Amino acid sequence: MKNPWIGTIVLAFCLAANSFAQDAENAPPEVKQGTEALPSLHDGKEPAAPSQPPGTQDDKKDVVIPEAGPVCAADEWNNQPRMLCGFYGSAEYLLWWMKKGTPLPPLVTLGDPKDTPTGALGQPGTTVLFGGDRFGSDPFSGGRFLLGYWFGQEHAWGLEVGFFFLQQRRSFFSASGTGDPGTDSLNVVFFNGDGKFEDSFPQVALAGTAEGGVAIRLTQRLWGTEANLRRAAVDNECFRLSWLVGFRVIDLEESFDLGTTTAFLPTSLGIATALNDSIATRNRFYGAQIGADADIFRGNFRLNLNAKLALGGTAEQVNISGTTVSVDPIMGMVVAPGGYFSGPNNIGTHSRSEFAVVPEVGVNLGYQFSQSVSAMIGYNFLFISDVVRPSDQIDRTVTFQSNDHPGVLFQRTDFWAQGITFGLQFRY
């Protein structure tokens, strides 16, 4: 902390306010003057015992002692007064899974040079190296933080802000071919829209003709923030219930990048090509939300249930780019826009706004170590009704005569993230 006096002053204020509250509770009741005379304490006589109504001296009745109710809060802090500094917060570790994207189409193959077209889907000598499966099956690590403050001694109204994130993940694939005699060809495949058949681009690597390689990168990132006004509805030793109303933002970013390099044999000729495609998507949700947060106490244990519902809009963005670089001794280096799945019809940034619903639910089991600190373990589920993802935007149909494809697909789907949470909660 840059200024230790700030923490010292806040701590002293909290302790002084708490001490004042305890002194106020222990103070003797105020004696009010009335019209009746009070017995003197200095006249040396004992005050007369109050007379009993006739017939009550010998009457004995059973005293009924009510049964004790359940002990909801732990005894060591059950009867302690509420502290006046109203800060609360939490810090959690997230182990979450994201919904897998639409299966990527088959994009990279090995082929038999005897097939025509070499490496195309459906040919007897074709083996798919990349595509046809989903990515993002491993869990993501992340964090979630909350800081809030209760206003006033009654803690009826509070204000809180929260933030969560999942680590950015990059997944990679690569393959290469030497072009040696007898080796399979390395290919990027597509659907030929002119002839209506499965086809392959000029080979990345082909025996006796060219050597080269292909690389693919996938990235994913998710984060969000929110601010809520909290209203206490029920607050006792057994149960606590609060209503929430606020605003939240969620950001989902993903990208798909494909690149190839080819050097024609013999490499001393200096003839080479490099093609690159990039499809990046971004979804940013903005919406108002309502919710409820409930705590049930039994001894040192605590069960927390929470639910939120946000309504708003998702700003969806698809950014497509691509280049082709050709090098030869005569023309030198020539750079042209467009790659395998990027061209005049889809290169650029394409945006839409769609209505979206974002519900979130969580359940946590905690153990309270003191009045201020508890540890929690739980489960959380977050859903977004409308997003765009890179795997849905790859148009593998290519036309050379009309140049209608590849185009902008802008296909939408839903998204969820769920998983386990571990954390600590604080109240001061």
> What are 408's two structure tokens?
């902008």
263-301 confidence digits (pLDDT tens) = 999 999 999 999 999 999 999 999 999 999 999 999 999
Label residue 17 by pLDDT band (50, 70, 90): very low
pLDDT at 228 over 60: yes
Q: For residue 384, count CB atoms less than 10 angstroms from its CB and return exposed for 0-12, middle for 13-18, buried for 19 or more.
A: buried
Convert the pLDDT of each residue in 345-384 to its tens digit: 999 999 999 999 999 999 999 999 988 899 999 999 999 9
More confident residue, 307 or 42: 307
Residue 256, pLDDT score: 96
Tokens 């690590």 found at? 141
Q: What is the mean pLDDT of residues 215-219?
A: 96
Type of residue numbered 346: N
Q: How far is CA 110 from CA 207, 295, 412, in A?
A: 12, 58, 32
pLDDT tens-digit profile of 70-104? 557 554 444 444 445 789 999 999 999 999 888 89
Q: Mean pLDDT throughout 142-168?
A: 95
Closest CA to 170 of 253, 231, 268, 285: 253
- Comparing CA positions, the residue from 126, 125, 130 lying closest to residue 108 is 130
Per-residue buried b or exposed e for 328-340, using 16+ beta carbons within 10 Å of the residue's own CB: eeeeeeeeeebbb
What tokens does 423 get?
A: 């954390």
What is residue 125's three-state secondary structure?
coil
Number of helices and strands (H, E) in the chain? 2, 16
Model confidence at 46: pLDDT above 70: no
Q: Is the dihedral of CA 92, 81, 155, 1 positive or negative?
A: negative
What CATH number was assigned to the domain covering residues 86-427? 2.40.128.90
pLDDT average, residue stretch 28-48:
45
Asked whether the whole model's pTM tops 0.75, one would answer yes
Closest by alpha carbon to 168, among 230, 94, 69, 253?
Answer: 253
Of residues 17 and 121, more confidence is placed in: 121
CA dist 9 → 6, 16, 101, 183, 427 (Å): 5, 10, 52, 76, 18
Mean pLDDT of 120-145: 89
266 prior amide bond cis, ω within 30: yes
d(CA 375, CA 367): 5
